């Protein structure tokens, strides 16, 4: 079971057919400041990098855990085209209806087949400029949970991706695999396992961006973790004082979401339309401006 969404975003006539297809993938959206950072900085992202498609992992958008229908709509309005979810996929039960009815959002593929939602999605993207007369470009997105250092009841991510690739209806499609996992070794193993067979293997979940963005030997873009869209004056998005109290005393402390130093973080991946493999990957990180909306009301003049 999969889904298809048709996206038509105009980027202006400067986008030539010879340019690679560009995807922006944004890291875990953490709490209100993560949503606000995307709302504020999306215009800059689109103007500077001109992506054909923007995907975000939105599983921490609601106060650090889960996604609600209203936040799903809010992220769409901000300019996010499609969303993935991870281990907190069902933390907010209201999102189940969205998962069942919308074709641009997916759950992890390697949980029970009885779970609500799509295990992969097909996004049909119409490029701007001279490409507008050409057929839409199909992009398939798959998210899997890791199993190393995790107690989640997830199936084998390697076997799951193999199975999904065998189900895709298009020949030689553009495929992006997101690995939502704790262990760097497991993420890198996924990268090499599918090198040359998918356009990108992108790591998420740990909220800490890594410095290993690269094109693997057979043409797959890879990074272990793209970080988070959220408060970097924090411990993985949570208030420093609360986490330190728990770690230094063993006493319970609510891990409230932090607010300071919000940033938009992720990668842009350039994909050759002919080979369906990648020719470039660049990590992006854009600090939010706390003096401007939506963080602060505009100053009246």
> Is 236 inside any structural domain?
no
> Is 104 inside any structural domain?
yes
> Is 245 inside any structural domain?
no
C-alpha 258, offset from chain centre: 21
> Is 293 inside any structural domain?
no
Let me know if 207 is a catalytic residue.
no
Q: What is the DSSP string of the chain?
A: ---EEEEE----TT--TTSPEEEEEE-EE-HHHHHHHHHHHHHHHHHHH--SEEEEE-TTTTTTS---HHHHHHHHHHT--EEE--TTTTSSTTHHHHHHH-SSEE--TTS-TTSSS-SEEEEEEE-SGGGGGSPPEEEEEEEEE--TT--S----HHHHHHHHHHH-SSSS-EEEEEEE-S-HHHHHHHHHHTBTTBSEEEEESS----S--EE-TTS-EEES---EEEESSSBTTB-HHHHHHHHHH-------B--SSEEEEEEEEEE-TTT-SEEEEEEEEEE--TTSTTTSPPPP-
> Is 156 inside any structural domain?
yes
pLDDT in tens, the chain (301 residues): 455 554 543 333 333 346 899 999 999 999 999 999 999 999 999 999 999 999 999 999 998 889 999 999 999 999 999 999 999 999 999 999 999 999 999 999 999 999 999 999 999 998 876 455 678 899 999 999 999 988 778 999 999 999 999 999 988 899 999 999 999 999 999 999 999 999 999 999 999 999 999 999 999 999 999 999 999 988 887 888 888 988 899 888 888 888 989 999 999 999 999 999 999 999 999 999 999 999 976 444 3
Domain count for the chain: 1
> Is 273 inside any structural domain?
yes
| pTM score of the predicted model | 0.90
> Is 68 inside any structural domain?
yes
Print the domain residue range for 81. 4-8+20-231+259-287
CATH number of the domain where residue 45 is located: 3.60.21.10
Q: Which of 88, 180, 205, 207 is catalytic?
A: 88
Rounded Cα–Cα distance for residues 95 and 247 (Å): 32
């Amino acid at each position: 079971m999969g889904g298809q969404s048709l996206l038509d975003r105009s980027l202006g006539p400067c986008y030539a057919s010879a340019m690679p297809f560009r995807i922006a993938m944004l890291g875990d959206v953490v709490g209100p400041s993560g949503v606000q950072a995307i709302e504020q900085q999306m215009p800059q992202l689109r103007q500077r990098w001109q992506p054909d498609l923007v995907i975000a992992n939105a599983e921490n958008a609601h106060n650090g855990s889960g996604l609600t229908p209203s936040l799903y709509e809010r992220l769409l309005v901000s300019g996010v085209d499609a969303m993935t979810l991870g281990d907190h996929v069902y933390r907010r039960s209201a999102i189940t209806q969205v998962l069942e009815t919308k074709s641009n959002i997916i759950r992890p593929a390697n949980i029970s087949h009885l779970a609500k939602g799509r295990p992969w999605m097909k996004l049909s993207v119409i490029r701007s400029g001279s490409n507008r007369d050409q057929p839409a470009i199909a992009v398939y997105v798959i998210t899997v949970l890791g199993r190393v250092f995790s107690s989640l009841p997830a199936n084998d991510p390697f076997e799951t991706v193999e199975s999904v690739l065998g189900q895709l209806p298009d020949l030689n499609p553009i495929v992006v695999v997101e690995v939502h996992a704790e262990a760097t070794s497991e993420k890198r193993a996924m990268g090499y396992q599918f090198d040359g067979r998918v356009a990108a293997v992108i790591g998420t979940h740990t909220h800490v961006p890594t410095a290993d963005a690269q094109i693997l030997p057979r043409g797959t873009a890879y990074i272990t973790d793209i970080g988070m869209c959220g408060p970097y004056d924090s411990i993985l998005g949570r208030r420093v004082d609360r986490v330190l109290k728990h770690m230094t005393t063993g006493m319970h402390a609510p891990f409230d979401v932090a607010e300071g130093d919000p940033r938009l973080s992720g990668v842009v991946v350039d994909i050759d339309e002919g080979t369906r493999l990648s020719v470039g990957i660049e990590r992006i990180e854009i600090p939010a401006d706390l003096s401007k909306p939506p963080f602060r009301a505009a100053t009246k003049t």
